[in-house]
Amino acid sequence: MKVCIAEKPSVARDIAKVLGATVAYDGYIEGNGYQVTWTFGHLCTLKEPNDYTDQWKAWSLSRLPMIPPQFGIKLIDDSGVKKQFKVIESLMQKADEIINCGDAGQEGELIQRWVMQKAGAKCPVKRLWISSLTEEAIRDGFANLKDQNEYQSLYEAGLVRAIGDWLLGMNATRLYTLKYGQNRQILSIGRVQTPTLAMIVNRQLQIENFVPEQYWVLSTVYRDTTFTATSGKIDDKEAGQQILDEIKNSPFVIKDSSDKKGTEAPPRLFDLTSLQVECNKKFAFSADKTLQLIQSLYEKKFTTYPRVDTTFLSDDIYPKCPQIMGGLAGLQNYVPLLEPFKNKKLPKSKKVFDSSKVTDHHAIIPTGVTPAGLNIDEEKVFDLVARRFIAAFYPDCQFTTTTVLGMVDKYEFKATGKVILDPGWKVVFDKSAQDDEDKKDDEEKVLPTFVKGESGPHTPDLAEKWTQAPKPYTEATLLRAMETAGKMVDNDELRDALKENGIGRPSTRAAIIETLFKRRYIIKEKKNLIATPTGIELIALIHEESLKSAELTGTWEKKLREIEHHSYNAKQFLDELKVMVSDIVQSVIRDNTNRRVSVTEVLEKTKKKSDKPKTSRQTKKKETVADSPKVDDSIIGTVCPLCKKGTLLKGRTAYGCSEYVNGCTYRVPFTA
């Protein structure tokens, strides 16, 4: 008998139907030589510290670091889990062959391997590896089963990731809680969680301590068109006013007008992160909600495997694309968009189809099964995926950029405009949504025709401006920052290169953000992510850069990927991590300062909205300053009384320390 094990009951039923297994028993389905059973996600987990020795049961600094000589697994302590495991164990003990039908990714591999190990499976194991749950995909997958050994490095990477998280999380959480916590408050530290929190905190401190700088911009209006001085911003108002006085009575002369044709390629297909970013921007969906929605669409067979980090399709998908288009034609709103491809061969672009850019799975696309019975939010997500897929086969958008240069005396001015010659792929997207995007581009305005040498009167202006503080992270911008270890880039090719060093994985980043909410380290104000006083203080007291550096965590992620691809040794990675954990423990224990994290309560709003864990405005942080509320500009430039290193600066709402970038939390709010 062949035993198939899926990751959840619904997937098991889909597989059983294709295999012809129709007789349902308690915990499995049987028929046609197959027994199809399932897990509920994780049935097993790494052992807790006290499972190794009673000495680790009580939290004690003297018992750290906790490094087991050999890691072990155990069943999750749940009656339903234990009942289902007994069924799985019984089936596997008698099986002639096991087919691992788990989620086709690192986590799915780990989940099923642990269950097979715990059940003591001894028979040969095959691997089903598919990118969608359609009947066709399942049949093709069973016709091309792989040997489990082909995925050994995937399992090792998942195992090392889990052990690494255990080593750092268990030790650092106990270490910081015992050393710096108060009133039984747990200070949760995580390999990815803490650097992510540090990014949010650092951005917030940059905003709070931002000192706006005044500057002026010289411009002039000629023939209802605004021209801006090419010399850039002016730091001295008097100098700017002098130029204004010089040019106001002189004519404006057109020096040059040039047109340059350009093209814009269709947007990349979605990977999980870019889909989460788009859904947060368009619909304010949290990363976790988007993951749940696209996972639901995958399980309903309407879209392909979602937990992917590539925006390309492999070349073998190209022959299936007409059939996918046919499935979309079953929905009326896509019919006009598909008309250009009717009775024509679909174009094939290297920007879409490139097998060398695809690892375990290709980009998220429709499967060709016409959707039905979707809820409103699922419809929104499916529509994004479908339109991206359709747009990928449309021609580039063609436009002309006009640049006009003018002179007033010796001062040069410039105006730019843009004319769309052929919208190409842009017709695929909602006009209102596209208009919103276009408004962000200052070059979208159409200019009148200017002739070289023409001249006339103009109206100059010297506009006062102020430098702007960085914007708070939203889930969209935080996901991008996690993807590139804090480096914010817009270029797709550069982002692809930085993905190797991103922190977390596409499938885990949403859970990391949710954990920060759960721990009350961050809250959400509208779409902005705001660190609570506890979150800020936690990052401030962590002096060990290895715990909060996104860049360093990114190098660990790169090594985990290299383990997966056979180019780095799993044992070496763990050895490095054990040394690091030991060093951190010794460093913190030697700390003789009296640093503490204060307990901060963040109350949840009773009125909830549809998507995210809404909370009240951040409670006011206790200031580490003298009690007197009377402050004035005389303190600017004095030595910070908290860290003794920085000097005091004036921000928009408070005085703060110049060492805020290094974690100093000294702050004096303005008072009336």
In the DSSP assignment, the letter for residue 144 is: T
| Separation between Cα atoms, residue 635 and residue 637, nearest integer Å | 6
- Determine the Cα–Cα distance for residues 205 and 663; give it in Å rounded to an integer: 8
**Residue 434, helix vs strand vs coil:** helix
Q: Which residues of 649-665 are buried (b: 16+ CB within 10 A; e: fewer)?
A: bbbeebbbbbbbeebbb
The answer for residues whose C-beta is within 8 angstroms of residue 161's C-beta and 6 or more apart is 106, 560
Q: Which residues pair with 270 in a beta bridge?
A: 364
* Host H or E run for residue 222: strand 214-222
CB-based contact 280:481 (threshold 8 Å): no
Instruction: Confirm if 43 and 75 have CB atoms less than 8 A apart.
Output: yes
Q: For the packed helices 287-299 and 509-518, what is the interaxial angle rounded to 10 degrees?
A: 130
Q: How many residues does the chain have?
A: 672
d(CA 322, CA 250): 63
- If we measure between CA atoms, which residue out of 205, 197, 5, 222 comes closest to residue 99? 5
The DSSP symbol for 422 reads E
Give the CA count within 13 Å in the CB-facing half-sphere of 592: 0
DSSP structural state of residue 586: H
Are the C-beta atoms of 197 and 538 separated by less than 8 Å?
A: yes
Residue 260 β-bridge partners: 401
Torsion on CA atoms 177, 180, 185, 191, rounded to nearest 10: -40
What is the DSSP code string of 320-353?
GHHHHHHHHTTSGGGHHHHGGGTTSPPP--TTTB
- Tell how far CA 404 is from the center of its chain: 40
Question: How many other CB atoms are found less than 10 A from the CB of residue 252?
Answer: 22
**Annotated catalytic residue 176:** no
CA dist., res. 624 & res. 672, Å (int): 19
Annotated catalytic residue, options 176, 298, 305, 411: 305
What 3-state class would DSSP assign to 597? coil
Could you tell me which residues come within 8 angstroms of residue 139 by beta carbon, excluding any fewer than 6 positions away? 18
Which residues have a Cβ under 8 Å from the Cβ of 591 and sit 6 or more positions away? 179, 543
State the Cα torsion 344-349-352-357 to the nearest 10°.
Answer: 140
Return the bridge partners of 401, or none: 260, 418
* 3-state DSSP assignment of residue 28: strand
C-alpha dihedral sign at 192, 198, 199, 204:
positive
- DSSP codes, 254-271: EEEEEEEEEEEPPPPPB-
Q: Which two tokens stand for residue 429?
A: 């997207």
420's enclosing H/E stretch is strand 411-422
Residue 420 amino acid letter:
I
Query: Which residues participate in catalysis according to the annotation?
Result: 305
